[in-house]
C-alpha cells in the first residue's frame, strides 16, 4: 500500500513553508562535510550545492522509511503525521543517516 500522495507531498510543502527546506536538517549536519578542511568562514563562495549534496544520505533514509511505512498499518496515519509535522519536524526523526560522516558523506 503506497503512502497517500497528497499528505506525503503536503509534508514536504509544509516543511518548505515552515522550515525553508523540504527536508530540513541542522546547520551542523549541513556543514559536516567541510569539517577538517580548514575552510575559512565567509568570503568567496567555494561551492554552492543548495544543500542537495548534504541531503543525499537523508533522502536515502527517507526513501527507505517510506518503503517500510507504506507496507505497514502505519500508512493510514500519514495525515495525522502531517498535522504533527506542522508543530514538530518529524522528517528529522524519520531520516537519520546512521553511517559515519552522514550528512556530508
pTM summary value:
0.67
Question: Sorting pLDDT into bands at 50, 70 and 90, what band is 105?
Answer: very low
Q: How far is CA 5 from CA 10, 20, 79, 80, in A?
A: 8, 21, 10, 14
Residues 35-46 pLDDT 10s: 898 888 777 777
Domain positions in the chain are 5-35+46-94
- Grid look-up 506542522 returns 86
Using one digit for the tens of pLDDT, what is the confidence trace for 38-96? 888 777 777 777 777 888 888 888 888 888 887 788 888 888 988 998 998 887 777 77
Q: How far apart, in whole angstroms, are the C-alpha atoms of residue 32 and residue 27? A: 8
Tell me the longest C-alpha to C-alpha distance in the chain: 50
Amino acid at each position: 500500500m503506497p503512502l497517500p500522495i497528497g499528505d506525503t507531498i503536503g509534508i514536504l510543502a509544509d516543511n518548505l513553508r515552515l522550515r525553508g527546506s523540504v527536508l530540513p536538517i541542522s546547520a551542523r549536519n549541513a556543514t559536516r562535510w567541510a569539517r577538517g578542511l580548514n575552510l575559512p568562514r565567509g568570503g568567496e563562495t567555494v561551492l554552492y550545492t543548495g544543500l542537495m549534496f548534504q541531503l543525499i544520505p537523508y533522502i536515502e533514509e527517507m526513501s527507505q522509511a517510506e518503503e517500510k511505512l507504506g507496507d505497514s498499518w502505519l500508512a493510514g496515519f500519514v495525515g495525522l503525521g502531517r498535522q504533527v509535522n506542522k508543530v514538530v519536524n518529524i522528517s528529522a526523526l524519520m531520516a537519520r543517516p546512521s553511517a559515519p560522516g552522514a550528512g556530508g558523506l
